[in-house]
Amino acid sequence: MAVVDTNSNPIRRETKPMKALVLNGGRKAGDGTDAVEALLLRQLEEAGCEVEAVRLRNENIGTCKGCFGCWTNTPGVCRIDDAGRSVAAEVVSSDLAVLLSPLTFGGYSFELKKVVDRLIPLISPLFMRIDGETHHRPRYRSYPRLLGIGVAKRPDPDEVRVFKTLVERNALNFHAPAHGVEVLCLTEAEAKTNEKINAQLARLRKQS
């Protein structure tokens, strides 16, 4: 484990404690996501952030039914009454949301995707145009910065490219004020992984 220089930690310069939420979409212990979660928590805590991590595989979260009830019946709240609601509430009250997942065909694992689909109540059913494309309007005044982290034994370059686009698209659709993406290789040295995470946090700080 490389020692993190907290004085140089980019998040430390925040004027108020940053609230960070790590959504861990790992399928099982040992797939690398828990180790990355630990590194993230350490860096964020050392930087003075309020941090919470949720191991989604341990949570009772149903999948989106596509009913649009969160827009038309109970606006802003999913009709499925389970932990998916509280995770959505935590996401929108965070300053930084980390989407951590084993790289899954260039996308998110089921465990992470079940939550991402349940974030739809956080946006409005009404439409707007962004750079010539249609998107849903924001429901809230502010949204968290988004950091997507994919983890793989041997990341396939095509999958890495797709993952980066996916996080970028999600950031656009969920109105993230800034976003970062990193794909970590399970076989690389921990110091290098730490360095990459640190660089992403620095970039997010700059973009805020």
Residues at the contact surface with another protein, assessed by CB under 8 A: 27, 63-66, 68, 71-77, 88-89, 92-93, 104-110, 113-114, 116-117, 119-120, 122, 124-127, 133-135, 138-141, 156, 158-159, 162, 165-166, 169-170, 173
Nearest CB to another protein, comparing residues 18 and 201: 18
How many CB atoms are located within 10 Å of the residue 121 CB?
23
Nearest CB to another protein, comparing residues 114 and 205: 114
How many CB atoms are located within 10 Å of the residue 98 CB?
27
Nearest CB to another protein, comparing residues 10 and 62: 62
Backbone angles phi, psi at 40, to 5 degrees: -60, -45
Least distance between another protein and beta carbon 51 (Å):
19
d(CA 81, CA 76): 13
Least distance between another protein and beta carbon 104 (Å):
7
DSSP state of 96: E
Least distance between another protein and beta carbon 132 (Å):
9
d(CA 38, CA 50): 14
CA angle 206, 22, 49 (to 5 degrees): 55
Nearest CB to another protein, comparing residues 58 and 199: 58
Least distance between another protein and beta carbon 70 (Å):
10
| Helix, strand, coil % over all residues of the chain, rounded to 5 | 40, 25, 35
Least distance between another protein and beta carbon 188 (Å):
21
Nearest CB to another protein, comparing residues 58 and 93: 93
d(CA 19, CA 95): 5
